[in-house]
Amino acid sequence: MSIGSAVFLGLAVLALVYGVVTYNGLVRLKHNITKAWANIDVLLKQRHDELPKLVEVCRQYKQFEQTTLTRVTEARARVANARETHDVAALGAAENQLRAGLGQLFAVAEAYPELKANEHFMQLQTRITALENAIADRREWYNEAVNLHNVRIEQFPDLLVARPLGYTEQALLQFSVAEKADVDLRALFGS
């Protein structure tokens, strides 16, 4: 075997090893995104199951603001649809609407002392608030997984493996400007 053949064989083996290592890293990143989405999905499903109970408790109070309950119910349906179709952009928008509706529902509940004193309402409010916090944590984890993936498939020389294998940029779970803004407590409580 000549020196040229040995060098060529060594470079070919090195390129093959690099390709395998890069491919395995990309697969790991892809599965991290899937895992992060599954974690969000579980929490969204749990919240989805709790919201009808909360709406029903509020409906028991005849004078409770019906438009708020309708807004929460409609937003819940949009979140469920986006979750089932894995539509990240629609999920972000629907989540914004649902969170606003829940914020308004809890604010309106302040005007109903009997409702606020209802043990079932308080348990549901606590449970939904805990789920909201967990969803926010998981959204951060999801976006981190997507960011790592997107950076890796754009970096040279990894893009030489990623592009031919069909790896594409994944969408971040975006938040609206309104959701990132500070809460206006005066407007929320009507003072």
Domains, the chain, ranges and CATH?
14-189 (1.20.1440.20)
Q: Check residue 69 and give its pLDDT.
A: 85
Mean pLDDT of the chain: 85
Q: Lowest mean pLDDT: which of 78-82, 115-119, 141-145, 150-154?
A: 115-119
CA–CA separation, 115 and 118 (whole Å) = 5
List all residues 6 or more positions away from 58 whose beta carbon is below 8 Å from its beta carbon.
64, 69, 105, 109, 115, 121
* Residues 156-172, mean pLDDT to the nearest whole number: 90
**What is residue 191's predicted lDDT score, i.e. its pLDDT?**
41
- Distances in whole angstroms, Cα of residue 10 to Cα of each of 14, 17, 160, 161: 6, 11, 19, 19
Q: Are 139 and 40 in contact (CB under 8 A)?
A: yes
pTM here is 0.72
Name the amino acid, one letter, at 128. Answer: I
pLDDT tens for 23-61 read 999 999 999 999 999 999 999 999 989 888 888 888 777
Render pLDDT for 80-112 as a digit per residue (tens, 0 to 9): 998 888 888 888 888 888 888 888 888 888 877
